[in-house]
Amino acid sequence: MSRKYIGVFDSGLGGLTTVSEIIRQLPDENIVFIGDTANMPYGSKTKEQIISFTLNNIHTLLEHDLKAVVIACNTSDSNARNVAEKEFDLPIFGVISPAARKAAEITVCKKIGVIATELTVKSERYEKLIKEHDSDIEVYQMACPKLVPLVESGLFLSDKNAMIRTLKDYIDPLYEKGIDTLILGCTHYDILMDLTSEIYPDLKLVSSSRPVVFDLKEYLEKNDLREKEKEAVREYYTTSDPEEFAKIAQLLIKDIEIKQRVFR
Ligand code: DGL
């Protein structure tokens, strides 16, 4: 039987936080990943651009034999998932719905904050899905356009105090509304999880990178699609400079090897 892969993509490093969770929960699965860093940040582009990047990513992933796709990008999930589902006859998993579900389950005071990219906030997808779980929950959103560039450039590692100031600028207004739960609604923000929890020890933080893997695992098990061979193959591609991308990527995934892949 030919090798089947789980295809994963994001605009960049954020998607690797989802990949690391797939490796943790599903260590035998073959993975092909694209970080579309040439078009990063997605969050400040137009919806039409996000649709085009999303379709390009999936077309390129399909050069491998895929059994599922994970959109490890909130911006793409909120703006292009429905188009992708029409275009491709493949199970497509997005990060937003599992994170919204988890936050709705754990909030006690029924006030949830969401930090995300501009386009994700504009889509109001989190608010809609949280309210489908419980219409009494209040949702407060904040677009954080500075965070993705700070993560991708590695600046978040070199100036902790500046990073804390930036996070507080974005999160304090939500905190002041009395939220008890905060969704990190961009997969890049998962990399800032520890720092965010240092600043706000009393907030319950919900990753948008990881809960999707629970749904993926359940789907593979129900459909008897779990990989039976050991020796998983993992391939990683970036649409810009692999050496640049590897600098931070190797902090997230051990022994990662990144190749360049330019869209046709
Ligand atoms: N990591 C992505 C997300 O979850 C995209 C970030 C960006 O490129 O703006 O939204």
What pLDDT was estimated at residue 106? 98
For ligand 1, say whether the CB of 40 is within 6 Å of any of its atoms. Answer: yes
Question: Which fold does the domain 96-207 belong to in CATH?
Answer: Rossmann fold (3.40.50)
Domain with CATH 3.40.50.1860 in the chain: 5-95+211-260, 96-207
| Of 19, 44, 70, 75, best ligand 1 pocket probe by most atoms within 8 Å of the beta carbon | 75
Identify the band that residue 102 occupies on the pLDDT scale cut at 50, 70 and 90.
very high
The residues pairing with 181 across neighbouring beta strands, listed in sequence order, are: 112, 204
Query: Looking at the predicted structure, is the pLDDT value of residue 3 above 90?
Result: no
In degrees, rounded to 5, the angle at the alpha carbon of residue 34 between the alpha carbons of residues 29 and 35 is 130
For ligand 1, say whether the CB of 187 is within 6 Å of any of its atoms. Answer: yes
Q: How far is the CA of 40 from the centre of ligand 1 (A)?
A: 8
Residue 183 CB contacts under 8 Å (≥ 6 apart), including other chains: 99, 100, 103, 112, 113, 114, 115, 116, 126, 206, 208
Burial pattern 35-72, b for ≥16 Cβ within 10 A else e, equals bbbbbbbbbebeeeebbbbbbbbbebbeebebbbbbbb
Closest CA relative to residue 86, chosen from 61, 48, 51: 51
**Atom of ligand 1 at shortest range from CA of 208:** 4
The residue type of 1 is: M
Answer for the pair 19, 81: CB distance below 8 angstroms, yes or no. Answer: no
The residue type of 217 is: K
Closest CA relative to residue 71, chosen from 144, 125, 146, 151: 125
Query: Looking at the predicted structure, is the pLDDT value of residue 222 above 80?
Result: yes
What pLDDT was estimated at residue 126? 98
What pLDDT was estimated at residue 264? 62
* Helical spans, DSSP H, in 204-255: 211-222, 242-252
In degrees, rounded to 5, the angle at the alpha carbon of residue 132 between the alpha carbons of residues 126 and 135 is 100
Query: Looking at the predicted structure, is the pLDDT value of residue 230 above 80?
Result: no
Question: Of the given ranges (81-90, 122-131, 172-181, 224-233), which has the lowest mean pLDDT?
Answer: 224-233
For ligand 1, say whether the CB of 98 is within 6 Å of any of its atoms. Answer: no
**Atom of ligand 1 at shortest range from CA of 73:** 4
Q: State mean pLDDT over 175-190.
A: 98
What pLDDT was estimated at residue 262? 82
What pLDDT was estimated at residue 1? 56
For residue range 15-49, what is the model confidence (pLDDT) as tens digits? 999 999 999 999 999 999 999 999 999 999 999 99
Q: State mean pLDDT over 90-119.
A: 98
For the domain made up of 5-95+211-260, the CATH class stated in words is alpha beta
Number of helices (H), then strands (E), belonging to the chain: the values are 12, 10
> What span, in angstroms and rounded, lies between the C-alpha atoms of 27 and 107?
31
Given the residues 112, 139, 186, 206, the one annotated as active site: 186
Given the residues 23, 71, 72, 73, the one annotated as active site: 73
Identify the band that residue 229 occupies on the pLDDT scale cut at 50, 70 and 90.
confident
Q: How far is the CA of 229 from the centre of ligand 1 (A)?
A: 33
Based on the residue annotation, tell me whether 186 is a catalytic residue of this protein.
yes
Would the CA dihedral through 34, 98, 212, 61 be positive or negative?
Answer: negative
Q: State mean pLDDT over 180-208.
A: 98
Identify the band that residue 263 occupies on the pLDDT scale cut at 50, 70 and 90.
confident
Q: Mean pLDDT score of the chain, rounded to an integer?
A: 96
How much of the chain, in percent, has pLDDT values that exceed 90?
A: 96
Query: Looking at the predicted structure, is the pLDDT value of residue 56 above 70?
Result: yes
**Atom of ligand 1 at shortest range from CA of 41:** 8
**Atom of ligand 1 at shortest range from CA of 185:** 4
C-beta neighbour count of 1 within 10 angstroms: 6
Q: How far is the CA of 119 from the centre of ligand 1 (A)?
A: 9
What pLDDT was estimated at residue 48? 98
Based on the residue annotation, tell me whether 109 is a catalytic residue of this protein.
no
Q: How far is the CA of 127 from the centre of ligand 1 (A)?
A: 18
Q: How far is the CA of 61 from the centre of ligand 1 (A)?
A: 18
> What span, in angstroms and rounded, lies between the C-alpha atoms of 188 and 211?
15
The residue type of 68 is: A
What pLDDT was estimated at residue 233? 96
pTM value? Answer: 0.97
Describe the chain by its helix, strand, coil percentages, rounded to 5. 50, 20, 30
